[in-house]
Amino acid sequence: MTMQTQMVLRQALLEPAREWYGLEMMQATGLPSGTVYPIITRLEQCGWITSHWEDPSEHEMQGRPRRRYYQLTQEGTEAARLALAKAHQNRATAPIPWGSPRPGATS
């Protein structure tokens, strides 16, 4: 799982029942649209996220483009938590390459 996917999942897990749209995720993670939207698409294909278009009257009344809202599914919430825990565990046990300073080591 890429760091970018982890960032998107962490952000979504802050409020798993909340609906959000792509621009919100981009702003919250600092990732560009070309990174966020493919991640969202993959997560939706896996069943971790559902989506729906907002009612046209909403964006027309506000004079802005129509938004597609996303939300973690119950399965996605559980799977994301497990996947992030595993990714964190893998990072914690990963070997440090030769020549790299150890965390907390002083020179």
Half-sphere exposure of 72 (CA within 13 A, CB side): 20
pLDDT of 37 above 80: yes
Average pLDDT over residues 88-107: 65
Arithmetic mean of pLDDT, 41-63: 93
Under the banding of pLDDT at 50, 70 and 90, the label for residue 92 is low
Is there a domain that residue 44 lies in? yes
Does residue 64 fall inside a structural domain?
yes
Does 39 fall in a domain? Answer: yes
Q: What is the mean pLDDT of residues 29-39?
A: 97
Question: 98 or 17, which is more confident?
Answer: 17
- In this prediction, residue 20 carries a pLDDT of 96
Mean pLDDT of 78-88: 94
- pLDDT band at 51; cut points 50, 70, 90: very high
Higher pLDDT, 37 or 57: 37
Give the count of domains, the chain. 1
Nearest to 43, CA basis, from 77, 17, 19: 77
User: What domain range includes position 45?
Assistant: 3-89
Cα 65 to chain center, whole Å? Answer: 22
Domain presence at residue 105: no
Q: How confident is the model at residue 61 (pLDDT cuts 50, 70, 90)?
A: confident
51 three-class SS? strand
**Residue 60 is part of a domain; what is its CATH number?**
1.10.10.10
